[in-house]
Amino acid sequence: MLIIAEIGQNHNGDLEIAKKLIRSAREKGADIVKFQLYDVDRIFPPDFQWYKEAKEAQLTKEQVLELAGDCENVGIEFSASVFDLERLQWTEELGMKRYKIASRSIYEEELINAIASTGKDILVSLGMYKEDGFPEINTKGKVDFLYCVAKYPTMPEDLDFLNVDFSRHAGFSDHTIGITASLIAMARGARIIEKHFTLDKQMHGPDHSGSMDPNELGQLVRYSQQIEDILGHNTAK
């Protein structure tokens, strides 16, 4: 089982909060912490509801390098969703192990081809993919597709687990409140769980309220180990 603590923008532009999130994720047993690397003006219009917060959470190259180094120091994998070619170059320079293609990037052919050309493993969220089956991504690396509903937060009734084949979808990118949906996905065969992670759900920002806190992350990791023991799943690591 692979557990990804999605820090995303939940550092609110404060590197000390980001480092606390990294350490907490490591202490609670997550395998990966993931950030979002973007130029806010390329992906959001100025009148976007959370534009100001997204702008404040935009990381510089120097900050990305510092956070990746911090992950290496504490012993947890650094990963990221990159939203443009410039930030892809940043992550290639630091030797990132795997990439995430976010739901909103699923039709950005130039970016996807550039990520694929690295030969690294890729995780792909399908929350905005409208075609049948899976997108074709030609790469030497492994490609894992994640079931995802692109609603923030996702309501339980929006999930369609009964029609999701987790022998084909490698995992679940969870935007529901709480960890129940992630546990159900694992019990149904998901080998990868990605979920937003925060130190405090009461913090200001677009994703905190729907994120898991450290206690929930610890529970998710423990339950994932129990589910693996009971069902005998092969690890995704």
CATH number of domain containing 164 = 3.20.20.70
DSSP letters for 135-152: -----SS-EEEEEE---S
Closest Cα partner for 31 from 5, 56, 52? 5
Residue 155: give the domain boundaries: 2-231
- For the cut 80, the answer to whether the pLDDT of residue 237 exceeds it is no
Question: Is 237 a domain residue?
Answer: no
What Rg, from alpha-carbon coordinates, does the chain have? 17
pLDDT in tens, 29-75: 999 999 999 999 999 999 999 999 999 999 999 999 999 999 999 99
Question: Is 98 a domain residue?
Answer: yes
Give 187: exposed, middle or buried? Use CB within 10 Å, 0-12, 13-18, 19+.
middle
Q: How far is residue 4's CA from residue 148's CA, in Å, rounded to a whole number?
A: 14
Q: What is the DSSP letter of 179?
A: S
Q: At 236, is the pLDDT very low, low, confident or very high (cuts 50, 70, 90)? A: low
Question: Is 7 a domain residue?
Answer: yes
User: Which residue type occupies 171?
Assistant: G
Token couple for 165: 């084949």
Question: Is 67 a domain residue?
Answer: yes
Question: Is 195 a domain residue?
Answer: yes
Mean pLDDT for the chain overall: 95
CB atoms within 10 A of CB 218: 16
Coil vs helix vs strand at 203: coil
Q: At 233, is the pLDDT very low, low, confident or very high (cuts 50, 70, 90)? A: low
Question: Is 236 a domain residue?
Answer: no
**What is the per-residue pLDDT for 195?**
98
**What is the per-residue pLDDT for 231?**
81
Q: First-to-last CA distance in the chain?
A: 7
Question: Is 66 a domain residue?
Answer: yes
- For the cut 90, the answer to whether the pLDDT of residue 118 exceeds it is yes
Coil vs helix vs strand at 233: coil
β strands within the chain, DSSP E: 2-8, 32-37, 77-82, 98-101, 121-125, 143-148, 171-174, 192-196
pLDDT in tens, 175-222: 999 999 999 999 999 999 999 999 999 999 999 999 999 999 999 999
Number of domains in the chain: 1
8 contact partners, CB below 8 Å, separation of at least 6: 34, 35, 36, 196, 207
Q: At 232, is the pLDDT very low, low, confident or very high (cuts 50, 70, 90)? A: confident
